[in-house]
A and B are shown apart, each in its own frame.
Chain A
Amino acid sequence: DAKTTQPTSMDCAEGRAANLPCNHSTISGNEYVYWYRQIHSQGPQYIIHGLKNNETNEMASLIITEDRKSSTLILPHATLRDTAVYYCIVRRPGYNAGNMLTFGGGTRLMVKP
């Protein structure tokens, strides 16, 4: 699976948009980009995923560049409860591949009042 690079930490003001970048320059054509977050003392929580089109759900938006070498997770109106570690993961499909998620270090997002 392609490796991802994320900033170690970021701050965001409450009520503002949080934009979390992820670099995945070695991504393959059939690999998806997934985002999870982990709030302190809890298990990771799925946020969103995409292949090449931008995606939006009730939690966030995912913007993937045209060359697919990077992406940005956008939390449109960050709240204090969005303080967490955010993981960007590239994952290839296929039953035989195991589909396991490979987590990196993630970005620690601190939302401040």
Chain B
Amino acid sequence: DTGVSQNPRHKITKRGQNVTFRCDPISEHNRLYWYRQTLGQGPEFLTYFQNEAQLEKSRLLSDRFSAERPKGSFSTLEIQRTEQGDSAMYLCASSPDSFNYGYTFGSGTRLTVV
């Protein structure tokens, strides 16, 4: 297990199209997080899973965004009817249950909406 894997690394899409990103966390990590990062800013929290349960969602996560984590393994983040403002780096992170560990982040998926 080499860490958190995110696919694709880059995605260019036309406004109005739907896109889906995938995150494969570290296998023994129960917790999975999605963040969004725009240029020059720190990452912003989007949503959090404990196993397959989605336990928290930021108000940044509009109705066009949906995330799933079937069977508590990989996770997908879908954006419907993309807008230019959705252009950002989408980061996934995972962590064990213990509070004494930091998150392990993936390298992210860079989305460009044209």
CA distance A105 to B41 in the complex (A): 6
Given contacts A34-B102, A43-B91, contact A103 B43 (CB under 8 A): yes
B93 interface residue (CB < 8 Å to A): yes
Stretch at the interface among B11-19, B75-83, B105-113: B105-113
A91-111 at interface with B (beta carbon < 8 Å)? 93, 95, 98-106
What is the minimal beta-carbon distance from B6 to any residue of chain A, in angstroms?
8
Report whether A43 and B106 are in contact in the complex, using a CB–CB cutoff of 8 Å.
yes
Report whether B42 and A98 are in contact in the complex, using a CB–CB cutoff of 8 Å.
no
Name the CB-closest residue of B to A91. B99
What is the minimal beta-carbon distance from A73 to any residue of chain B, in angstroms?
13
Residues on B with beta carbons closer than 8 Å to the beta carbon of A106: 42
What is the minimal beta-carbon distance from B75 to any residue of chain A, in angstroms?
15
Given contacts A43-B91, A43-B106, A93-B99, contact A101 B45 (CB under 8 A): yes
B74 interface residue (CB < 8 Å to A): no
CA distance A100 to B50 in the complex (A): 12
Report whether B31 and A99 are in contact in the complex, using a CB–CB cutoff of 8 Å.
yes
Name the CB-closest residue of A to B104. A46
B24-62 at interface with A (beta carbon < 8 Å)? 31, 33, 35, 41-45, 48, 50, 55-56
What is the minimal beta-carbon distance from B92 to any residue of chain A, in angstroms?
8
CA distance A101 to B108 in the complex (A): 16
CA distance A47 to B104 in the complex (A): 11
What is the minimal beta-carbon distance from B60 to any residue of chain A, in angstroms?
12
Report whether B33 and A44 are in contact in the complex, using a CB–CB cutoff of 8 Å.
no
Q: List 16 A-B contacts (CB under 8 A).
A: A32-B99, A34-B102, A36-B103, A41-B107, A43-B93, A43-B107, A43-B108, A93-B99, A98-B56, A99-B31, A99-B99, A100-B33, A100-B48, A101-B43, A101-B103, A103-B43
Given contacts A43-B106, A101-B33, 10 further A-B contacts (CB under 8 A): A42-B108, A44-B43, A49-B102, A100-B45, A100-B56, A101-B45, A102-B45, A103-B43, A104-B42, A105-B42
